[in-house]
Structure 1
Amino acid sequence: MTARPNRIRPPRAEGWVAEDLDRLPEAPSHSELIDGTLVFRLPPQRAWHSRLVTALTTALMAQAPAGFEVEREMTIRLDDRNRPEPDLLLTTLPYDPDRTYYSPDAVHLAVEVVSPESAHRDRTVKLRKYAEAGIPHYWCVEDEDGSPVVHTYELDQPTRTYAPAGIFRGSLRRPVPFPISLDLDSLVPARRRG
């Protein structure tokens, strides 16, 4: 076995901290920090995932009222040891070309498109962490035979946990964080059979 390169060894015994992500230019793109551990996106994303995130970004941008910004693959600094990177987020902060992360109080919706390697984190770890950080809405998008299925959650403020707000197939209509209407079946091409 070969030794790990120094660049992936944590700089301290307690692990990595949120600011370390900005000081690791040699780290793979789309690196996240979960509980002080670096998480790299491996293997490369499937075309379905990429197409869906792009189409969802475009659809939400077209519907977002003034004051909302739609961002792709930007980290949220939840605390010193957690800086996850949702596939998409809605924020009310104006565009800043030098921004590398958002604080949870500026995020109104975090969206994760589930991949085989991220399924556990997206369905459980991030669901809990985003709620504890106070992010009002969370969507977890699953691949169901090539069609997107969106599991939506809304924050129960007193308990800082998410309550299920609906599972959407074919179309999605939500009144929050602003009125959203999506034709889910049009977001990705149907799988070719045969």
Structure 2
Amino acid sequence: MAELPEWMRPPRPEGWLAEDLDNLPDAPRHTELIDGALVFMMSPQRNWHRRVINALDRTLHAQAPEGIEVNSEMTVRLDKYNRPEPDVIASTVSIPPDATQYEAKDIVLAVEVVSPESAHRDKAVKPHKYAEAGIRHFWRVEDEDGNASTAIHVYELDDMTRTYVPIGIFRDTLKVDLPFPIELDVQGLYG
């Protein structure tokens, strides 16, 4: 069995810290930190997943008001042990070109486009962590039948319980007022 690369060994007994991600030059491109553990994508990305991310990025960017920055596949520092990489985000701050992360306090929308290999994290782990960090809006995008039948599950943060409550499931046209007015053709995201 081959020896593990040095960058895979946690630098401390309690695991990795959010700032450690910036010092892993040989780590795979989409490396995340969840509860002090490195998580990275090893499977090839599905065409549906990539196209939906690109379409959401473009559509949200086009509809975002001044003062809202839309970006995709950038990590968000939730706390010292968690720095996940939502598929798409909307932020109230613009980060510098050399920045590698956003801060949770600045995120108004986090979107996860569910893949088979990350379904548990996208449906259970990440939403819970985003809610605890105070991210007000969360969308979970799924291919419901494996044939590009897209659905967007929209959630809003309940301040009292610090959990997300469902707002709706959109399969044709998504139209919401928060975190800013957005209208999009759900099935057209893959088209």
TM-score range (shorter-chain normalised) is over 0.9
Q: Deviations 1:24-76 (Å, cap 9, x if unpaired)? A: 11111010000000000120211111011001111111111111110111111
Could you say which residue in structure 1 is the equivalent of 2:108?
Answer: 108
Aligned-residue offset at 1:110: 0.2
Could you say which residue in structure 1 is the equivalent of 2:162?
Answer: 160
Could you say which residue in structure 1 is the equivalent of 2:184?
Answer: 182
Cα RMSD of the aligned pairs, angstroms, is 0.9
Equivalences for 1:54-65 in 2 at 5 Å? 54-65=54-65
SS at match of 1:56: helix
Could you say which residue in structure 1 is the equivalent of 2:44?
Answer: 44
Whether 1:98 aligns to 2:62 is: no
Give the whole-Å Cα distance in 2 for the aligned partners of 1:97 and 1:37: 27
Letter in 2 for 1:156: D
- The more displaced of 86-95 and 128-137 is 86-95
SS at match of 2:116: coil
CA contact (8 A) 2:35 2:82 kept: yes
Give the whole-Å Cα distance in 2 for the aligned partners of 1:64 and 1:139: 16
Could you say which residue in structure 2 is the equivalent of 1:192?
Answer: none
Runs ≥4 residues deviating over 4 A = none
Could you say which residue in structure 2 is the equivalent of 1:35?
Answer: 35
Equivalences for 1:142-153 in 2 at 5 Å? 142-145=142-145, 146-153=148-155
Percent identity, aligned pairs only, is 60
Aligned-residue offset at 1:2: 2.4
Give 5+ residue unaligned stretches, structure 2: none
Give the whole-Å Cα distance in 2 for the aligned partners of 1:185 and 1:161: 28
Distance verdict in 2 for CA 1:95–1:2, change over 3 Å: closer
State the TM-score, normalized to the length of structure 1: 0.95
Give the whole-Å Cα distance in 2 for the aligned partners of 1:84 and 1:93: 18
State the TM-score, normalized to the length of structure 2: 0.96
Give the whole-Å Cα distance in 1 for the aligned partners of 2:119 and 2:71: 21
Give the whole-Å Cα distance in 2 for the aligned partners of 1:126 and 1:186: 26
SS at match of 1:117: helix
Aligned-residue offset at 1:95: 4.0
Total equivalences in the alignment: 189
Equivalences for 1:9-88 in 2 at 5 Å? 9-88=9-88
SS at match of 1:44: coil
